[in-house]
Structure 1
Amino acid sequence: MKRLACLAALALVPAAPVLADEVTDALTGATEAYEAGDVKLALEELAFAQQRMQAMKAEGLTAFLPPAPEGWTREIDTQMNAGLAMMGGGTGAEATYANGDASFVVTLMADNPMVGAMGAMFGNPMLMGAAGEIVRVGRQKFVDQDGELTTLVDNRILVQARGAGREVMLPVLEAMDYEGLAGFGR
């Protein structure tokens, strides 16, 4: 009876060791390489861990891209983040919405130094008005510059829609959770 009770208790213990994910493995590898004096390998492991965490963060940002409206399709661009390193870093997500011959792109770009520099324009109604027509989407103010709708959420997240008429793009922009987007990455 005691033997059966011990076996039952062992069955309830989680399997050990718990398999670590790639980020944890890379960070452990970086620490081990550093302690062994292999700075080059430590830096490579850190870069790998950073790349994986950046991909995780991008997936989180992608969740703010609204689903396609009825009769439309949405295709997520999984390569969007690759070009951000050239622009100072940050996180990006992009989707193309299509319906037959009509299509448009919605881009989200967070925590990029170039985007942050736009804060002065979006914080000043006079400058916004000079840049183009102001269009409201809920409480969010977009600038329409020749059919390209742009806003800045929380002074750090760029939202941009381009490629179709305003009336076509507005339903997708209206479906976006701007309050949730403002809390992204915090």
Structure 2
Amino acid sequence: MDQETIRLIVSVSGTVAGVLITAWFARKNLGRSLEAAKSTEHETWVRNQKQEAYTNFLAKAETAVHQAYSNFKEPFVQPRLDEMSVARRRIHIVGAPSIIELARKIDWEARKAVVARDDMEEVGEDLNAQLQSMNTLSGIVHEFNNLVGLFIEAVRTELGTGAGVLLSNMPDHRSQAG
């Protein structure tokens, strides 16, 4: 074999080896990229599920408390607490233990508000009893709002959206009587 042929064989072999090594690395990197994209997609889906579960539960709980703490001149119509229960159960599926516990406490306070408002309906015309019932309901709503603030703070920390604003630090609309 002459030298030209040997150089050509070595050159082609080197090129083929380079192509094979490059293809192997490209395939390996593509596999990693696909795994990373799949993982990111799943994390985004889970985050969205959590966000939806948390906001849905808060909406149901706040609706129940709002119904209990408004329209005192109208007969009380009990809110659908079963919808709040279903929303809370969803948090049990996607939520962190600390958020599940806060949701349980919020649920409890919302139910207490509904019972307290229902009890107000039975007080009748006794002004002292009405004031005492209103004071009890106000205390329950205050505790509910504190828990909601803690819940929002915990959710924002878990979801990575920053520290939440505590509702208990916001001015109370009742104390701004003009």
TM-score, length of structure 2 as denominator length:
0.25
Decide which structure has greater strand share: 1
The structure richer in helix per residue is 2
Q: Which of 1 and 2 has greater Rg?
A: 2
Higher relative contact order (CA 8 A, sep 6+): 2
